[in-house]
Structure 1
Amino acid sequence: MAELIVAKAPTRIDFAGGTLDIPPLHLFHQPAITVNVAINLIADVTVTRRPGRAIRLVASDQERRLTWPSRDKIAWTRQPFLEMLARLIQSLAPDTGLDIRTACQAPAGAGTGGSSALAVATAAALSAVAGRSLDRKALIEHAKAIETQAIRVPTGYQDYYAAAYGGASSIEFGLAGIHRTSIARQTFLMELQRHLLLLYLGKPRFSGANNWDLFKRHMEGDRKTFAFFDALQENALAMRDAFLQEDLTGIARLLNRDWETRRRALPTMSSPAIDRLIHTLKRAGALGARVCGAGGGGCLALIIEPEARAALIAIAEAAGARVLPCSVNMRGLVVRRSKDSFQRSAVSKTGQAVALLKADDQ
């Protein structure tokens, strides 16, 4: 029998203020905030010690695997898509044999922060097996740094905060640092959940190119790009207030406004097919709609009339979209340990919580 560490972290739907979370852009648009809600499309990491020094990594959702003779022999040239995970193992794993299995329920390119949730969960699991106790903010910084190294473009913060804390977050990027605030009661989030519909439109054609293009234009001093970020900031502040006031109608309206602002600034965020689908869904009972993440595909998040759900799903599926489960995650990162065999990849319900996550500020 061997000790089994399991870490789980949620992904998110970004409601407003995305892209403002990429340093140092927020410094030019104060006060800069991002509003998101964590959802139960979970990133799951399992770590088990094994005899010797060899490390085996299985990325089950990607159907990829790597084995290294020891931590100091870690490389990823044969599997560049596993670079982020390999770098996390290299920087955090103890110098012992390990079996590591990872998976994420969010589809490839969903725009819901799956890779960042996976980075947070992996950092937490490896820290636990190494006997280190890290607070959430330290995990966020480490995960973000490693993912930035792997993808080689600036990354924003919001995905890591949703993964670490769960719930509905207002993440403020101030001159003195980052402050996360919970902005909704659980009762309201359960009501919001009744009005949420999440559709997967397929892997985006443009991936992170949209955010990188915006970043470059901003740093070059483009006036239209500055005006775009000012509009994002204004909408994010209004979205935070709508959550605090538990105003579903306002949230839907602001979701539409955020989408139109982004669509005008970056036409590649949408496509004629996406535009037609959103138009049809709104005619059938969708109140608000926004493509998640950097756009060009991925997920479409909608605020809907609950009684219209069946009709909306039928329209979406007829257009080739796939409905994803979309329940609100209130817990954020969870790390557990139990005794189990080397082969098992899930913790039992009786597994005990790891004393890893220190009490820290929200």
Structure 2
Amino acid sequence: MIITRTPFRISFFGGGTDYPGWYREHGGAVLATTIDKYCYITCRRLPPFFEHKHRIVYSHIENVCNNHEIEHPAVRAVFNWANVFDGLEVHHDGDLPARSGLGSSSSFTVGLAHALYGLRGQMVSQHTLAKDAIHIEQNLIGENVGSQDQISAAYGGFNRIDFHQDDSFDVSPIILSRYRLEELHDHLMLCFTGFSRIADAIAKSKIDNLKNRETELNRMREMVDEGIAILTDSHVSIDEFGKLIDLSWKYKRSLSDQVSTPEIDQIYDEAMRAGAIGGKILGAGGGGFMLLFAKPEKHAAIRERLKNLVHVSFNFDDSGSRVVLYQPNGL
């Protein structure tokens, strides 16, 4: 039996430039961090005593005899990619809801691929895990997804990720003093808007519009450098980082009319009136989690103003996808 633990992520700047349709022509970059909220995948070989061959347990339970019968698209794609023939049982547990803008689907793909490597007795690099997950999601499943979520999930940590025209990428950890990192953390709030969304359709609307948004996407990529410059200069107020998030949200909203909704706009306006400096919907948009940036003394007022939403406390994570239980002889 193997259990993998793979973190979710928060993306600050550069989202949109991680789509292959963009970076293969222009290059791209994002600034993102993983957090201590995780996707857990439990995987074990299934003894041949059942009517079914595979058992997959998530929000549904699937008992199937062949890979092609699997309804879960990521499990089906990963099993086929890994040439899974022996019976397997897979359980998924997540700390936060799916389809919420935290890269949970990529965390799932990375975590499952990691578990299958482990079942074969193979250790795998972070780079290979990320590349495999990108291939599975973009080419095998055919999802309209970028490439940052898989890399963040595999590597973990607070990183600048650069995407190159030849599909290669570089991961550069952001080095900050403990005080500056804690200062950033203490200014961040994470709240659930109350509704999930299917990211694929929203992402497709953005991808279809990439050529019409070159100015916006180039500016959003520049914000990666600006955000890092703010964080690494202790003489610059951390509030400038929040103002940049606010600006990035305005640009992100322009990428597609599906990124925001009247409900999201109202939540954002209420947070700003209560003292937030900036914020954004995480992920493709349309729902899920909203990241807010505010002085710590304003957090209580913002929570009161948004008291109908679920607020989630979190810390930064730097571990990436990990095998947390390995019992190669256990069923």
Fold shared by both chains (TM-score > 0.5): yes
- For 1:306, the equivalent position in structure 2 comes to 296
Normalized against structure 2, the TM-score is what? 0.89
Structure 2 residue 230 is matched with structure 1 residue 242: yes
Partners of 1:84 and 1:182 in 2: how far apart?
Answer: 29
- For 2:174, the equivalent position in structure 1 comes to 183
C-alpha deviation, 1:93, in angstroms = 6.3
- CA separation of 1:175/1:250 partners in 2, compared to 1, >3 Å: closer, same or farther? same
- CA separation of 1:309/1:29 partners in 2, compared to 1, >3 Å: closer, same or farther? same
C-alpha deviation, 1:328, in angstroms = 1.0
User: Given that residues 203 and 297 in structure 1 are in contact (C-alpha distance below 8 angstroms), is that contact kept between their aligned partners in structure 2?
Assistant: yes
3-state SS of 2:149 partner: helix
- For 1:357, the equivalent position in structure 2 comes to none
Residue by residue over 1:76-130, the C-alpha shift from the partner in whole angstroms, topping out at 9 and shown as x without a partner, is 46x3xx1111221233265433321112223132111000011111110111011
User: Given that residues 189 and 328 in structure 1 are in contact (C-alpha distance below 8 angstroms), is that contact kept between their aligned partners in structure 2?
Assistant: no
Structure 2 residue 201 is matched with structure 1 residue 201: no
- CA separation of 1:139/1:249 partners in 2, compared to 1, >3 Å: closer, same or farther? same
Q: Which moved more, 1:163-172 or 1:261-270?
A: 261-270
3-state SS of 2:42 partner: strand
Partners of 2:176 and 2:95 in 1: how far apart?
Answer: 26
- CA separation of 1:316/1:151 partners in 2, compared to 1, >3 Å: closer, same or farther? farther
User: Given that residues 13 and 224 in structure 2 are in contact (C-alpha distance below 8 angstroms), is that contact kept between their aligned partners in structure 1?
Assistant: yes
Which residue identity does 1:51 align to in structure 2?
P
3-state SS of 2:121 partner: coil
- For 2:21, the equivalent position in structure 1 comes to 24
C-alpha deviation, 1:214, in angstroms = 2.3
One of 111, 131, 134 as aligned partner of 1:144: 134
Residue by residue over 1:24-52, the C-alpha shift from the partner in whole angstroms, topping out at 9 and shown as x without a partner, is 3114334x211111112211101123323
- For 1:255, the equivalent position in structure 2 comes to 245
3-state SS of 1:335 partner: strand
Which residue identity does 2:188 align to in structure 1?
L
3-state SS of 2:258 partner: helix
Partners of 2:215 and 2:69 in 1: how far apart?
Answer: 41
Residue by residue over 1:145-178, the C-alpha shift from the partner in whole angstroms, topping out at 9 and shown as x without a partner, is 2222565333211111211122211001124521
Residue by residue over 1:126-151, the C-alpha shift from the partner in whole angstroms, topping out at 9 and shown as x without a partner, is 11011122211111121122222565
Which residue identity does 1:244 align to in structure 2?
T
- For 1:337, the equivalent position in structure 2 comes to 325
3-state SS of 2:124 partner: coil
- For 1:52, the equivalent position in structure 2 comes to 48
Which residue identity does 1:236 align to in structure 2?
V
- For 1:157, the equivalent position in structure 2 comes to 147
Partners of 1:166 and 1:7 in 2: how far apart?
Answer: 14
Partners of 2:83 and 2:54 in 1: how far apart?
Answer: 9
> Equivalent residues in 2 for 1:88-103 (5 A)?
88-92=78-82, 95-103=85-93
User: Given that residues 270 and 306 in structure 2 are in contact (C-alpha distance below 8 angstroms), is that contact kept between their aligned partners in structure 1?
Assistant: no
- For 1:296, the equivalent position in structure 2 comes to 286
CA RMSD of aligned residues (A): 2.4
> Equivalent residues in 2 for 1:117-136 (5 A)?
117-136=107-126
Which residue identity does 1:74 align to in structure 2?
N
3-state SS of 2:129 partner: helix
Partners of 1:131 and 1:275 in 2: how far apart?
Answer: 49
Which residue identity does 2:68 align to in structure 1?
A
Which residue identity does 1:148 align to in structure 2?
Q
3-state SS of 1:267 partner: coil
One of 328, 339, 345 as aligned partner of 2:316: 328
3-state SS of 1:317 partner: coil
C-alpha deviation, 1:278, in angstroms = 1.5
Residue by residue over 1:254-277, the C-alpha shift from the partner in whole angstroms, topping out at 9 and shown as x without a partner, is 111100112234333222222222
C-alpha deviation, 1:200, in angstroms = 0.9
Number of aligned residues? 324
User: Given that residues 110 and 129 in structure 2 are in contact (C-alpha distance below 8 angstroms), is that contact kept between their aligned partners in structure 1?
Assistant: yes
Q: Which moved more, 1:286-295 or 1:46-55?
A: 46-55
Partners of 1:154 and 1:208 in 2: how far apart?
Answer: 5
Q: Which moved more, 1:49-58 or 1:16-25?
A: 49-58
- CA separation of 1:189/1:161 partners in 2, compared to 1, >3 Å: closer, same or farther? farther
- For 1:35, the equivalent position in structure 2 comes to 31
Partners of 1:206 and 1:334 in 2: how far apart?
Answer: 27
User: Given that residues 144 and 200 in structure 2 are in contact (C-alpha distance below 8 angstroms), is that contact kept between their aligned partners in structure 1?
Assistant: no
Structure 2 residue 54 is matched with structure 1 residue 66: no
Q: Which moved more, 1:208-217 or 1:157-166?
A: 208-217
Partners of 1:153 and 1:121 in 2: how far apart?
Answer: 18
- For 2:9, the equivalent position in structure 1 comes to 12
Normalized against structure 1, the TM-score is what? 0.82
- For 2:158, the equivalent position in structure 1 comes to 168
